Amino acid sequence: MMDKVVVSLINKHTLARDGLRELLSTDHDLDIKGISPDQGYLNIIDNDTPDVILVDIDYPTLQGLEISRKIKQSYPSSKIIVITPNFDNEELFETIKTGAVAYIDQKTTPKELISTIKLAYRGEYPINDSLMTKPKVAERVLKQFQDMVGMGKNMETITAPLTNKETQVLKQITNGNSNKQIAQLMGTSEQTIKNQISSILRKLNANDRAHAVVLAFKRGLISFDNMPPEQR
């Protein structure tokens, strides 16, 4: 039996949060956790390691976009879905810039939202479908990407540091532990460890686990004492 898809729902309104959680909970493949933006959501995400994060855009402040940016900066592999009251081209453009994988409005049915969550969980980008129907937005995205390349921006300079849990996982890797052993030691699921290792590899631009250990050692992310005698 596969693990449930852990979904964090960030919305400042308790009733909206509880209502949406109740609707989504009809699908037994999902494990829904409600979060208020004022609860220290980054720490909660670090503890829960959700597979998908739903963020309310929060009219009129659009605080949800800033929340999405902060989550993506701290957890680059996060699969964020932004929910808005009304579909808007400018919002779509700003949402794409946050790195969200989907942008949907509140007219979306629970069935469609559940489908979007599962697509995001499988590594797909439903936001691409939204982009394809908005050529002017697509043109702006392409132009911004070209400007970034023209300015010589290096993606490595904006890569987020490892989280505390990712550092712990990396230290366990240096001790030669398998994903299953690490999951048991850290009291979490093997799938969560796989997700964290994927994030570590992306952040370090490493080819595999061994390469990640070498790079982390060179960058001072782990100390010589963390490495077993045979690797020193």
Three-state secondary structure string covering 97-164: HHCCCEEEECCCCHHHHHHHHHHHHCCCCCHHHHHHCCHHHHHHHHHHHHHHHHCCCCHHHHCCCCCH
Average pLDDT on 126-144 reads 69
5-150 is classed CATH 3.40.50.2300: yes
pLDDT digits (tens, 9 = 90+) for 19-28: 999 999 899 9
pLDDT at residue number 6: 93
Average pLDDT on 147-155 reads 48
pLDDT at residue number 156: 42
Mean pLDDT computed over every residue of the chain: 81
- Among residues of the chain, what percentage have pLDDT more than 90? 29
pLDDT at residue number 229: 46
Average pLDDT on 85-114 reads 87
Name the pLDDT band for 118 (thresholds 50, 70, 90).
very high
Where is pLDDT greater, at 199 or 33? 33
pLDDT at residue number 138: 64
Q: Model-level pTM?
A: 0.62
Residue 191, pLDDT above cutoff 70: yes
Q: Where are the domains of the chain?
A: 5-150, 161-231
pLDDT at residue number 216: 77
161-231 is classed CATH 2.40.420.20: no
With contact defined as beta carbons under 8 Å apart, do 78 and 71 qualify? yes
Average pLDDT on 153-167 reads 62
Lowest mean pLDDT among 50-64, 88-102, 157-171: 157-171
With contact defined as beta carbons under 8 Å apart, do 75 and 45 qualify? yes
192-227 as b/e, with b when 16 or more CB fall inside 10 Å? bbebbbebbbebbebeeeeebbebbbeeebbeeebb
CA separation (Å) from 169 to 172, 173, 178, 215? Answer: 5, 6, 10, 15
CA separation (Å) from 153 to 89, 144, 146, 201, 206? Answer: 26, 12, 10, 21, 20
Residue 56, pLDDT above cutoff 60: yes
